[in-house]
Amino acid sequence: MGATKTSLTEYLPDLPNGRHCSEAPNSAFEAQRFWMAYSPWLAAHGYTLFDMVTGNGYMIPYWVPPLVAVSAPVPYAFYHRDENVPVTPWLMGAVETRFAFAQDAQGRNIAIKVIESDSEEEKIYQHLLHCSELFDPDTFASVLPPICILRSTYRFSFVLMPMWGDRPFIKSMKTVRQVMDFMTDMLRGLSFLHDQRIAHRDIAHTNLISTISQFPSGQPIESYRSPSTEAFIGWDCFHPWDVYQGEFDYNPFAFDVACLGKLFMLRFAEYDCVAAEMQVFEFRIRSPDVLHKGLNPAYKVAMSKSVANRHIAINPDMARAIALDALWRAQSAGPKYAILTADWGADQGFKAGTLVIIENQATVSRSPGDARGIHIEPRPDEYTYKIKKYKIRHSFHSFMSPAFGKDVIPSRNLSFTNPLADLAAQPITWSDTEMGSAVYVLHNIEWTERGRLIKIPRGTPCTIEKLASRVGSQQGVRNTYQCRFWMQHNILDFDTSNSHTFWMYLRPLAHGEQPTIPKVHPPSLARRFPGPGEEFNPSR
């Protein structure tokens, strides 16, 4: 086994583009290639990755649970998919570089997180691995402690943790006992973290273990301070307003307690609050009337912009999601333009660099509300967008050449091949000509119709509609015909994508960047035959 693991490491890749793991790109295809490369290496350590599939309207790979899982005691999950139910995107969503899901050798479900080697976060996990009380079911029956840390040959490691499901459904609690057990476990867990001088920093109902930070021991917990910018990490829904008055630092431990208190208040207390007020300083810049009414209007705007800028500085990958969400919510009456940053439905022509118009906004998995119906607004990176792109649609309107008189078209002026492409093009003959045959004008022709001169240049396509006159059975080049020609009308139209597009595939137009809208040319004589459905008046 040791030799196998060693040989496998020779071909293992670094993070996509060699970037720091906290800045790893969100490209699901790059992430899929990364995890597929590490799949044999993880399997050699006893961990088999979940399936990564594409389909069901989703054009990027996403995780799906395995068909079989082992029912194991807490904290391991019994979570699998029914083979009789079509595979659909799991609530974990698209494949990304920093997280993966697997089963251990016993078939128990495992979550894998990529962290920087020798980082503060890795030291915290190492510390937790050696906390014996954390693994005692009598004191921490509902805690998911880390299983192990696997070091790569690069500057990152894998932290493996047991997984119960994809998110805790707090609203599914039915009894007071369940609520009390949950609150007790949460308080006990937070107290344990704080005793270890570990601040959680991002408590939310869907994120009960995440952005942790450890402080040195030996000082009262009340004395610890962190830069106020760290308070903007994570989801603001349950954050107190400790740093929204311009503070330079804050106490992360007191901040944790307030977050947990707001979680309890919003989920379990009979507190009649407005969801927007609970999320007033979330990622997007909200309109001034949502902000606290006691603030000066100019200060409201300045503060909301400052908060949004801090979020962008802390999480640059979120900046584009925020900008797209702001674009969609803007009150402008014109089209909401964006640019595709990668192929999305290339078979429909939605390729990287294409100008698109945002038609609609939706969520991949709608954020839940609570039992009282209070809606939790999704984050900007939880949205997808319905898009359409410009296309030039062609409509062909036919007209006929004269059926009699001196302007009928002689057979010597028609050819089965285009003379512009075939310099040896020959006139048609009666023996190989049928009504409806597709031919080309061999020499320039013209006629007058209703006082207007009609000019038909060499190489123009047409079809033979009627024999106007026939001269001799052996002299086909002297026959004359009435032919059908077309005027090509160009119409600016749209193609709509078959599925919603993930935000990371779009970017708003840069400041001063103008949309490149296709130019619609005026009607002209058709230089090709109409395609299926293009002819406006196809009746003969």
> What is the tens place of the pLDDT at every residue in 64-99?
777 666 656 655 665 555 555 555 444 456 788 888
| 290: DSSP letter | G
User: Among 151-160, 294-303, 396-405, 493-502, which stretch is predicted with the lowest mean pLDDT?
Assistant: 294-303
Answer yes or no: is pLDDT of 418 > 80: yes
pLDDT at 205: 55
Give the pLDDT mean for 227-244.
Answer: 67
67 burial level (CB within 10 Å; 0-12, 13-18, 19+)? exposed
Domain ranges of the chain: 1-166, 167-314, 364-499+514-540
The larger pLDDT score, comparing residue 4 to residue 277, is at 4
pLDDT at 519: 93
The larger pLDDT score, comparing residue 280 to residue 405, is at 405
pLDDT at 250: 73
Answer yes or no: is pLDDT of 369 > 50: no
Answer yes or no: is pLDDT of 103 > 90: no
pLDDT at 187: 83
**Mean pLDDT estimate for the chain:** 76
Domain at 1-166, CATH from 3.20.20.70, 3.40.190.10, 3.30.70.20, 3.30.200.20: 3.30.200.20
Answer yes or no: is pLDDT of 283 > 50: no
Q: How many CB atoms lie within 10 A of CB 42?
A: 20
- At residue 397 the predicted structure's pLDDT band, cuts being 50, 70 and 90, is very high
- At residue 530 the predicted structure's pLDDT band, cuts being 50, 70 and 90, is very high
- Burial profile 298-332: b = 16 or more Cβ within 10 angstroms, e = fewer: eebeebbeebbebbbeebeebbbbbbbbebbeeee
Distance in angstroms (rounded) separating the CA atoms of residues 359 and 76: 43
Structure tokens at 434: 């049928």
β-pair type (51-55, 414-415): unpaired
Answer yes or no: is pLDDT of 338 > 90: yes
pLDDT at 58: 67
pLDDT at 224: 59
Answer yes or no: is pLDDT of 278 > 50: no
Structure tokens at 118: 């020798």
**Portion of the chain with pLDDT greater than 90, in percent:** 27
Task: Report pLDDT digits (tens) over 440-481.
Answer: 999 999 999 988 999 999 999 999 999 888 765 555 557 899
Answer yes or no: is pLDDT of 367 > 50: no
Answer yes or no: is pLDDT of 216 > 60: no
**Selection from 203, 177, 178, 174 nearest residue 189 by Cα:** 203
pLDDT at 377: 66
Distance in angstroms (rounded) separating the CA atoms of residues 312 and 362: 22
**Selection from 202, 200, 211, 208 nearest residue 170 by Cα:** 208
Identify each DSSP E strand in 369-509 by its residue range: 383-400, 409-410, 414-415, 438-441, 445-449, 452-456, 461-469, 480-496, 501-502, 506-508
Give the pLDDT mean for 493-522.
Answer: 90
Distance in angstroms (rounded) separating the CA atoms of residues 200 and 233: 11
Answer yes or no: is pLDDT of 436 > 70: yes
Task: Report pLDDT digits (tens) over 28-73.
Answer: 888 888 999 999 999 999 999 988 887 666 677 888 777 666 656 6
Distance in angstroms (rounded) separating the CA atoms of residues 379 and 206: 13
| CATH code for the domain defined by 167-314 | 1.10.510
The larger pLDDT score, comparing residue 475 to residue 275, is at 475
Q: How many Å is the Cα radius of gyration of the chain?
A: 34
pLDDT at 517: 92
pLDDT at 229: 66
- At residue 290 the predicted structure's pLDDT band, cuts being 50, 70 and 90, is very low
| 207: DSSP letter | B
- At residue 402 the predicted structure's pLDDT band, cuts being 50, 70 and 90, is very high
Contact 478, 70 (CB under 8 A): no
The larger pLDDT score, comparing residue 500 to residue 262, is at 500
Distance in angstroms (rounded) separating the CA atoms of residues 240 and 475: 96
- At residue 105 the predicted structure's pLDDT band, cuts being 50, 70 and 90, is confident
The set of residues, in sequence order, having a beta carbon less than 8 Å from that of 425 and lying 6+ positions away, is 415, 416, 417, 418, 419, 440, 442
Check if 1-166 and 167-314 are the same fold.
no
Answer yes or no: is pLDDT of 439 > 90: yes
The larger pLDDT score, comparing residue 357 to residue 146, is at 357
pLDDT at 403: 92
Structure tokens at 32: 């899929």
User: Among 17-26, 102-111, 284-293, 297-306, which stretch is predicted with the lowest mean pLDDT?
Assistant: 284-293
Answer yes or no: is pLDDT of 151 > 50: yes
Name the residue type at position 157. S
Give the pLDDT mean for 281-288.
Answer: 36
| 289: DSSP letter | G
Answer yes or no: is pLDDT of 163 > 90: no
